[in-house]
Amino acid sequence: MTRDMNEDIEKVVFSEEELKKRIAELGKEITEDYKDAEETIYCVGILKGAVVFYTDLVRSINLPVHFDFMIASSYGNGTETSGTVKILKDLDYDVAGKHLIIIEDIIDSGTTMNYLMKYFRERKPKSVKLCALLSKPSRRTVDVNIDYCGYTVPDEFLVGYGLDYAEKYRNLPYIGVLKPEIYE
């Protein structure tokens, strides 16, 4: 078995350079939208998938923001959602009256974010918006409103840039499609 992850990739969907450019645009848009906000802005990353996108995005937002994270998981080791969202780590802060920007890697079936959005709204923030790098609308089973979306993607299982298959490939610097023999 090779240790070179690149050999498991059928095609690159978004290169490192493309991601960098698009994330800079998202950061600029967010900076503009929140430039007059008076209350604290919390950037909430949904671990583990969002970790790579989160660190790049927050550095392209030119405003003071606070960091917080949730750990949520629903996929286990497969390519299909289990349908049940497990919260493994809650927010650290009381976010009532604050602005929340939820940062997520991908909205696929929508199960995770539909569940988490209800959870965030119950915490009575001043506002809550969602920034997702990727959206796969063809797979949606529940509605999710995405305020800032990096790219709309077709129905393919993607890896890299935080996205995993059975915990692997998260540290690829680009987003790609796995060769079918890897997960069949």
Ligand X SMILES: O=P(O)(O)OC[C@H]1O[C@H](OP(=O)(O)OP(=O)(O)O)[C@H](O)[C@@H]1O
Stretch that binds ligand X, among 22-30, 41-49, 61-69, 93-101 (CB under 6 A): 41-49
3-state SS class at 104? strand
Q: How many residues bind ligand X (CB under 6 A)?
A: 17
The token pair that represents 92 in the structure block = 């650290």
Cβ closest to Mg ion, residue 118 vs residue 124: 118
What the block records as the tokens of 41 is 């802005």
178 binds ligand X (CB under 6 A): no
Helix (H) or strand (E) holding 42, with range, is strand 41-47
Contact range with ligand HPA by CB under 6 A, out of 55-63, 90-98, 143-151, 159-167: 159-167
Within 1-83, where are the H helices?
Answer: 16-33, 51-58
With contact defined as beta carbons under 8 Å apart, do 14 and 152 qualify? no
For the beta carbon of residue 113, count every other beta carbon within 10 angstroms.
Answer: 25
- Show contacts with ligand X in window 73-132 (CB under 6 A): 73-75, 81, 104-112
DSSP 40: P
Stretch that binds ligand X, among 22-30, 33-41, 69-77, 89-97 (CB under 6 A): 69-77
Q: How far apart are CA 85 and CA 73, in angstroms?
A: 6
- The contact mask relative to Mg ion for 24-63 (x = CB under 5 A, - = no) is -------------------------x--------------
Residues forming the site for Mg ion (CB under 5 A): 49
Residues forming the site for ligand HPA (CB under 6 A): 75, 106, 108, 157-159, 163-164
